Chains A and B, each alone.
Chain A
């Protein structure tokens, strides 16, 4: 059994670390819509990669980085209309992906697998990328913890202290886009948002400090993902929906706790 699910368990743990860090930042920065936009928009990179016949990971990474920069400009300079513009980027990325798939001859089953993902089909090369992104996230959060926390609470105050808050926010979106790319094959574009936000939302209720929230989110998402892998393996179900249903049940249970 371990031969079949070993890689997916490792992937689950690595994705949980990323969710613990970046998911917590997404939740406290109220950046859920932006993350949805990056995740869905990443389909453009997948479509372009399939059309050009290049490495899909590479094309998706480059495409989502461009989206992250565009979204940074929108949220910083067009704040008053950012909600609508975020929706435009969301749809634009998906449309680019669909058009390039239309232009690609033959049936592209590969593209559909990115929509829903399958953590049971994760390969060693995916694991290497996850390790790389996790390392970058860990180094970034160790060095920038105090700044990220200050940015999340009051970005204007960073300006008063002579620190470039806009640049820091752009870096946060770049990290978010890399996390999306590393998770897209395992979790899938459509359900990524739920998994990135549910564990931090639960953890937020039980913690007093931000680093505690990140650690608890990591543990909670590891429990959901590994339980989901086992259930889907034994009952022959799609893993991501099982994981999301478990996570949503956990969220509703946690809501019974009053603040």
Chain B
């Protein structure tokens, strides 16, 4: 069964078409990057996959169901820079939020055990009782990944997970994502750091150009750099 299938997808804000005839699919445990220029529709596509928005035309299926029907299977990692750091909230409190679901109001023993387990896996258990504001950017991003993983998702969607993080932290986060044994989608404007790690790339600029490899190898890949003639990619990644 396909983990994600996007078929003939259109989206409009008022009368402006933001996404046009997008088609791609993702197999179980594949790793995909969604890249493209600002305003090209990356974030809109992400919101559609998460079920925050509904398509104008076409459909998105996650494990053969609409995103709204399978929200429990989806893990979401936003950018760590989106949040206020002043809230008195600990790392453990944030990670536990991943166990919330419809009809559930209180955390039980299993929720706490799962949260502890994920913190250990991500090697951030020593920060458990720290306030989120006392952590570095990379550590905060790991906390958000932990919050997504603690719900035991089958597919994880990440929005710019390496933005505003130092190079060492970026590598650590990407290695971590690469080794996750679930379907992964990363939205990023920085293709360079993702190229050799992903199975598939969707270049979104209103329309989509999909490239799939086994482990893409750009700039040697002539098709991607020359045939597709994507200026953005040529400048940013291919170096030609």
- Residues 126-165 of chain A, each 1 if its beta carbon lies under 8 Å from chain B, else 0: 0000000000000000011011011011101111111100
Interface of A (DSSP majority class): helix
- Residues 55-98 of chain B, each 1 if its beta carbon lies under 8 Å from chain A, else 0: 00000000000000001101110100011101111100110111
Distance of B101 from chain A, by nearest CB (Å)? 5
Residues of A with C-beta under 8 A to B90: 208-209
A150, B84: Cβ atoms closer than 8 Å = no
Report the separation of the CA atoms of residues A150 and B78 in the bound assembly, to the nearest whole angstrom.
Answer: 14
- Residues 87-105 of chain A, each 1 if its beta carbon lies under 8 Å from chain B, else 0: 0000000000000000000
| CB-CB under 8 A for A161 and B50, given A149-B89, A149-B97, A150-B97 | no
Q: Counting CB contacts under 8 A, is A207 at the interface?
A: yes
Interface size for chain A: under 10, 10 to 19, 20 to 34, or 35 or more residues? 20 to 34
A157, B105: Cβ atoms closer than 8 Å = no
Residues of B with C-beta under 8 A to A149: 89, 93, 97
Q: Looking at the complex, which one of B86, B96, B102, B105 makes contact with A204 (CB distance below 8 Å)?
A: B86
- Residues 6-37 of chain B, each 1 if its beta carbon lies under 8 Å from chain A, else 0: 00000000000000000000000000000000
Q: Looking at the complex, which one of A143, A154, A212, A259 makes contact with B78 (CB distance below 8 Å)?
A: A154
Nearest opposing residue in chain A for B131, CB measure: A208
Nearest opposing residue in chain B for A213, CB measure: B88
A30, B76: Cβ atoms closer than 8 Å = no
Chain B residues packing against A (C-beta within 8 Å): 50-52, 71-72, 74-76, 78, 82-84, 86-90, 93-94, 96-98, 100-102, 105-107, 129, 131, 133, 147, 151
Nearest 3 pairs of A and B residues by beta carbon: A162-B71, A160-B76, A162-B102
